[in-house]
Amino acid sequence: MESIKGSLLKKFETRSMLGLARFKEFLLLLLHYKASCIGLCIVMGIAFLAIFAPIIAPQHYAEIDVPNKLLPPSLAHPFGTDALGRDIFSRVVYGAQIALWVGLIVVLIEALIGTSLGIIAGYFNGKIDKIISALADLVWSFPTVVLALGVVMVIGPGITQVVIAIAITSWPSFTRIIRAKVQSMVNREFILAARSIGESDLNIMLRYLLPNIISTILVLATLTLPSAIISTTALSFLGFGAQPPTPDWGAMLSEGASLLIKAPWVATFPGIFIVITALGFNLLGDGLRDLLDPKLRW
Amino acid sequence: MIYVDAPLLTVKNLKTYFYLSKGVLKAVDGVSLTIKRNEVFCLVGETGCGKSVTALSIMRLIFHPGKIVDGNIIYEGIDLLKLPESEMRKIRGKEIAMIFQSPMKSLNPVFNIGYQISEAPIVHFNLPHEDAWKKAVELIGKVKMPDPEIRAKSYPHVLSGGMRQRSMIAMMISCEPKLLIADEPTTALDVTVQAQIMDLLLEIKKRSGMSIMLITHNFGLVAERGDDVAVMYSGKVVEEGSVKDVFDEPLHPYTRGLLGCIPVGFKRKTEIDYIPGTLPSPINPPVGCRFHPRCKYATEKCVKEEPQLIEIGKNHTVACHLYGE
Amino acid sequence: MENPLLEVEDLKKYFQVKKGVFAKPSFIKAVDGINFHINKGETLGLVGESGSGKTTVGLLVLRLIDPTSGKIFFDGVNIAEKSQKELKEFRKRMSIVFQDPLASLNPRMTVKETLKRPLIIHGIKNEEECTTRIINILRMVGLGEEHLERYPHELSGGQQQRVAIARAIILNPDLLVLDEPTSSLDVSVQAQILNLLLRLQKELNLTYLFITHDLVTVRHVSDRVAVMYVGKIVEAAETDELFSNTMHPYTAALLSAAPIPKPEAKNIERFVVGGEPPSPINPPVGCRFHPRCKYATEKCVKEEPQLVEVGKNHMVACHRAKEIDISSYARKIWEILMARTKSV
């Protein structure tokens, strides 16, 4: 019993040390690309806001203060106040939590569905491939937001529902690319070699194909996150996502839309943050892709 | 004054380095060789010895992060390394041409071969397009492809490997160069096609008097088609001489090792000679003689001091401490 | 007396090429009816150029692809029609080494993991036993414990191929298919790997199917050689017999074209053959070699020659094998190949 634990621990140690060294090397390389550097900073900044929101935000996001409604930006309220006197800065900061959280969950679900289907389609080809590809094409040809709207109409509004709706309508972007990657690898000698020693199909997909497409998945995830965030904010803007008083940026946009002339700050600041976050992830994803893809090419 | 007997190309102490984040890769580190007129000069070596980089240096096709750091390349009395790029462009394709290993990668997939073959004559001789096209068709015939007029309109992807290589050759001889550099021209081809392509190259050489610099790792090609040969190891020339001399009496232990480890002349299914160890890293080559870690004759001197090329016998040079003094 | 470990009967593999929804499907006749056998402990060299189908034969024998028709007898059992599940037992007894060692190893698995997989798949799960066997096999192929945690891209070409070989022999197979195992390695490393393969064959009593296009190598390692052209075997014989008494014009052409690393070979008369190997989609009717053969007659154009025995264990598929004498070309080359090198 002890020896198994010991050997596992040792294995983890060596792996993590190797992993750490490679991660350091990787990070150093990433910093070479200025654009992705900026992207990384933005992402880290937003993540920081999200994690430390309760400390950074001067007020709770739902704190109503009607006498002080629609105040322009000032020292006390850096982003001003909204129609209910809530501090917009605090709401934006808390909103980062929601944006990232939602974005991450959407991407996670998308990646799970999309990758599994992509690997299966690419590996087995034939009928299975045709069915999955047809399904992917079908789902993909609908505009995401419209399809998600349809789903939400059925299962009702709310952040969780929006997350599910977006995820199950955007997975084809993963499937397409993963399938193509798998197809290019399936006839490589190391897959043939795996079959020659008797590996089962499942093992080949899990141990041979999956580890080699993790970088692709990572890049895809980073690049899909912005559109996930934007799609969720779109649905929230339409009123189907976060319900008040949740400080979702899209919902805040919606609230501030009618006040654009009288109190532009209500919509502008959340809007800016949406753009910056999406940009940050895009830049980071671009850098990652440039970094990882040439190395992958063999 | 250029004498007919004067060598066509002389490389003196060429150094080409690549500046990478890992360190300086000394691909070519002091290479000297001489190519005569109307001869087949072979440059032999294994992966990473610097033979391809030598050829690219002669053509001045070295780009960032590589740089030709030192040396002279004298072609017909002119030092190519001192020429401005505009002058060098007049030499590339017209005086010195190069064909590569993988013709599919060297041919442009979106233009037909007639067009590609006529490019060089248009650039170098200012031929009008119709004349250049006629010349292209003529060249396609010269490289023994059937139905030249029809072939000229074909695109590279419909041609077989052998035909693509012939197209490349046609492209490169279109301006009648005096030196044709062939970098592993037949490695990617079938054996029977290899023989045809080599026959073709030698026939062209005979007719036009051009020299061929053949870069290869195949000693069979060298033995059968070469006149002179230089053996490279880790960025340096270790032995140079006529093919007959080097094959019959290999001087350098590396040459001997290489020739010895070809499965020829051994009893079947017995173990053949081999060179122990692996090729040195081009970023951190061994000090002293680069071959010493793998050499059974290595002495203390070999570990400390790098041997220079010395002449043993007529035109047979070797860089090894076993000789000389 | 002769107990073939592997025997192949009228093996065919056609790949379907679809050119569109409405076009009639055409077939790439990669392997078009071949017969051969390998006895235990023997090495059969399978020679051919591109399009000959030799690599496909290797994959068929291992059932990595399914034959279109024909029989594959492994130790007496026809494995051609067995399901992949039934084949798992046989996978222990045969394995393959590929041409490109880096491509044949999983880039995300260490040497240890790569070598462990075959053991685990076939029931050896005890950690200690696995480690012992892995270290043993590494020593056998000339590597050491320091290589256990390395990834393929951290090894040299020769080392990668050694790992591939180790993986192939770790379960003590009977048959090893070697598909151009040294072609992408440097000359000095080729010799090391060839020596390793020869040594392993003796120590482990292995049977080799050695697929290559390099005649010099095949002459050195094979007991018998079979020459393939566009999906068919055109000549097969014991090595010395094939090289000194060549009977098929294509074999003579191959031998003539192979560059020999000896200056004396420069002046031998060569059997020159023009043209290129035809496409396996529409091979020529009759004898497939006839468009390039200077001895071709009307019969050669119309009728496909069968593989018949014309000498001791010497099979040829040529209508005019007994009439024409092309062995003189090959014999001179063979004599040069056989001459001992000056001792250096």
C18-33 residue pLDDT tens = 766 677 778 888 999 9
**Mutation target among C43, C50, C188 for the B interface, most CBs of B within 10 A:** C188
Which distant-in-sequence residues (6+ apart) come within 8 Å of C313 by Cβ?
C224, C237, C238, C241
Which comes out higher in pLDDT, residue B238 or A69?
B238
Chain A environment of C21 (Cβ under 8 Å): none
Q: Residues with Cβ < 8 Å from C185, sequence gap 6 or more?
A: C101, C157, C158, C161, C193
| β B23-35/B9-20 pair status | antiparallel
Domains of chain C: 4-93+173-241 (3.40.50.300)
Q: In this predicted structure, what is the pLDDT of residue C132?
A: 92
Distance CA C297, CA C249 (A): 13
Q: Do A288 and A231 share a structural domain? A: yes
Are residues A105 and A144 located together in one domain of the fold?
yes
The C-alpha atoms of residue A194 and residue C167 are separated, in whole angstroms, by: 10
Specify which residues B92 forms β-bridges with.
B96
Q: Which chains touch A (3 or more CB pairs under 8 A)?
A: C
* CB < 8 Å from B in window 44-103 of C: 49-50
Q: What's the mean pLDDT when you consider all of chain A?
A: 83
Domain residue extents for chain B? 9-38+49-89+220-318
Both tokens of residue B284? 């951190």
Spatial CB neighbours of B5, under 8 Å, sequence gap ≥ 6 = none
Range list of β-strands (E), chain C: 4-17, 26-39, 43-47, 69-74, 77-78, 94-97, 175-179, 207-212, 224-229, 232-238, 308-311, 314-316
Please check whether residue C91 touches A, CB under 8 A: yes
Note whether C220 contacts B268, CB cutoff 8 Å.
yes
Interchain contact A208–C (C-beta under 8 A) = yes
B222-233 pLDDT, tens digit per residue, is 998 999 999 999
Range scoring the smallest mean pLDDT among A244-258, C38-52, C135-149: A244-258
A196 to C62: CB separation less than 8 angstroms, yes or no: yes
Using pLDDT thresholds of 50, 70 and 90, give the confidence band for residue B2.
low
| Touching chains, C (3+ CB pairs < 8 A) | A, B
Give chain B positions within 8 Å (CB) of C147.
none
Q: Are residues A173 and A74 in the same domain?
A: yes
pLDDT at C7 over 80: yes
C303: tokens are: 């009728």
Query: Scanning every residue of chain B, which has its alpha carbon at the shortest distance from the alpha carbon of C336?
Result: B265
Do A63 and A19 belong together in one domain? no
Q: Which of C188, C194, C341 sits opposite B265 (nearest CB)?
A: C341
Q: Give the DSSP H/E element, type plus range, for residue C256.
A: helix C249-257
pLDDT at C223: 93
Q: How confident is the model at residue A165 (pLDDT cuts 50, 70, 90)?
A: confident
Q: Confidence band (pLDDT; 50, 70, 90) for C222? A: very high
pLDDT confidence of residue C20: 67
Tokens linked to B212: 């061929």
Q: How far apart are CA B252 and CA B239, in angstroms?
A: 6
Asked if residue A43 and residue A100 are part of one domain, the reply reads yes
- Whether C262 and B247 lie within 8 Å, measured CB to CB: yes
Please say if the pLDDT value at position B264 is more than 50: yes
Asked if pLDDT for residue C316 goes beyond 90, the answer is yes
Instruction: For chain C, say whether A196 makes contact (Cβ under 8 Å).
Output: yes
The whole-angstrom distance between residue C155's C-alpha and the CA centroid of its chain comes to: 26
Could you tell me the strand order of the sheet in which C77-78 lies? Answer: C26-39, C4-17, C69-74, C77-78
Most C CBs within 10 Å: which of B44, B158, B167, B190, as the mutation test of the C interface? B190
Under an 8 A CB cutoff, do B46 and C186 touch? yes
* pLDDT given at position C40: 92
Interacting residues of B323 by C-beta distance below 8 A, sequence separation 6+: B251, B310, B312
pLDDT in tens, B101-128: 877 778 888 898 899 988 888 888 888 8
Model pLDDT for residues A170-212, shown as the tens digit of each residue: 899 899 999 999 998 888 889 999 999 988 899 999 999 998 8
Neighbours of C14 (CB within 10 A): 17
Q: Range of A4's domain?
A: 1-30
Mean pLDDT across chain B, nearest whole number? 88
Q: Name the residue facing B46 among C187, C195, C253 (closest C-beta).
A: C187
pLDDT, residue B160, reads 83
Tell me whether the omega of the peptide bond preceding residue A245 falls within 30 degrees of 0, making it cis: yes
The phi and psi torsions of B74 (rounded to 5 degrees) equal -95, 115
Q: Does B46 touch chain C (CB under 8 A)?
A: yes
Q: What is the distance between the alpha carbons of residues A235 and A152, in angstroms, rounded to a whole number?
A: 9
Give the residue-averaged pLDDT of C100-128: 91
Measured distance CA(A21)–CA(A8) in Å, rounded: 20
Residue of C49 and A158 predicted with greater confidence: C49
The average pLDDT across A76-104 equals 86
**pLDDT at residue B182 is higher than 90:** yes
CA–CA min distance A76, chain C (Å): 54
Look up tokens 């198994």; give the residue: A4
Which pLDDT score is estimated for A17? Answer: 61
Give pTM, 2 decimals.
Answer: 0.84
Chains in contact with B via at least 3 Cβ–Cβ pairs below 8 Å? C
Least confident of B278-292, B294-308, C330-344: C330-344
Report residue A248's pLDDT band, with 50, 70 and 90 as the boundaries. confident
Q: What is the mean pLDDT of residues C220-240?
A: 93
Q: Return d(Cα A55, Cα A271) in angstroms, integer.
A: 23
A294 touches chain C (CB under 8 A): no
A98 and A126 assigned to the same domain = yes
**Is the CB of B218 less than 8 angstroms away from the CB of C156?**
no
Q: C104, exposed or middle or buried, with CB in 10 Å at 0-12, 13-18, 19+? A: buried
pLDDT in tens, A98-114: 888 888 888 999 999 99
- Residues B96/B181, Cβ–Cβ less than 8 Å: yes
Please tell me which of the candidates C98, C127, C149 has its beta carbon nearest to residue A189. Answer: C98
DSSP secondary structure letters along C198-214: HHHHHHHT-EEEEEES-
Same domain, A20 and A44: no
Average pLDDT over residues C203-216: 92
Is there a contact between C191 and B273 if contact means CB atoms under 8 Å apart? Answer: yes
Task: Return the residue in C117, C127, C146, C169 with the most chain A beta carbons within 10 A, the one to mutate for interface testing.
Answer: C117
Same domain, yes or no, for A94 and A223? yes
C-beta of residue C47 within 8 angstroms of C-beta of residue C246: no
State both tokens at C273: 């053959």
% of chain A exceeding 90 in pLDDT: 20
Contacts of C109 in chain A (CB under 8 A): 207, 211
Q: Give me the mean pLDDT over the A213-218 stretch.
A: 87
What's residue A86's pLDDT? 86
Superfamily of domain B9-38+49-89+220-318: P-loop containing nucleotide triphosphate hydrolases (3.40.50.300)
Number of structural domains chain A divides into: 2
Whether A123 and A13 share a structural domain: no
pLDDT at res. B217? 87
Mutate to test the interface with A, among C82, C106, C113, C120 (most CBs of A within 10 A): C106
Q: Which of A277, A279, A274, A252 is nearest to A264 (CA)?
A: A252
- HSE-up of residue A237 (Cα within 13 Å, Cβ side): 18
Q: Is B278 on the interface with C (CB under 8 A)?
A: yes
> For chain C, how are helix, strand and coil distributed in percent, rounded to 5?
35, 20, 40
In this prediction, residue C195 has a pLDDT band, given cuts at 50, 70 and 90, of very high
Residues of C in contact with B250 (CB under 8 A): 344
3-state secondary structure C111-180: HHHHHHHHHHHCCCCCHHHHHHHHHHHHHHCCCCHHHCCCCHHHCCHHHHHHHHHHHHHCCCCCEEEEEC
Please give, rounded to a whole number of angstroms, the shortest distance from the CA of C105 to a CA of chain A.
5
Of C106, C259, C309, nearest to A190 by C-alpha is C106
In this structure, the answer to whether residues A52 and A1 fall within a common structural domain is no
User: Is A243 found in the same domain as A206?
Assistant: yes
Mean pLDDT for all residues in chain C: 88
* Closest by Cβ to C266, choosing from B223, B263, B279: B223
Strand-pair partners of C236: C226, C315
Q: Answer for the pair C120, C171: CB distance below 8 angstroms, yes or no.
A: no
C303 touches B: beta carbon within 8 Å:
no
Query: Is the predicted pLDDT of residue A22 greater than 80, yes or no?
Result: no
* Same domain membership, residue A149 and residue A12: no
pLDDT (average), residues C54-76: 92
Nearest CA in chain B to C224: B268
Interface pTM, i.e. ipTM: 0.85
Q: Do the Cβ atoms of A193 and C109 come within 8 Å? A: no
Amino acid identity of residue A112, one-letter, is: L
Q: What percent of chain C has pLDDT over 90?
A: 48
Smallest CA–CA separation between B45 and chain C, in Å?
Answer: 9
CATH of residue A139's domain is: 1.10.3720.10
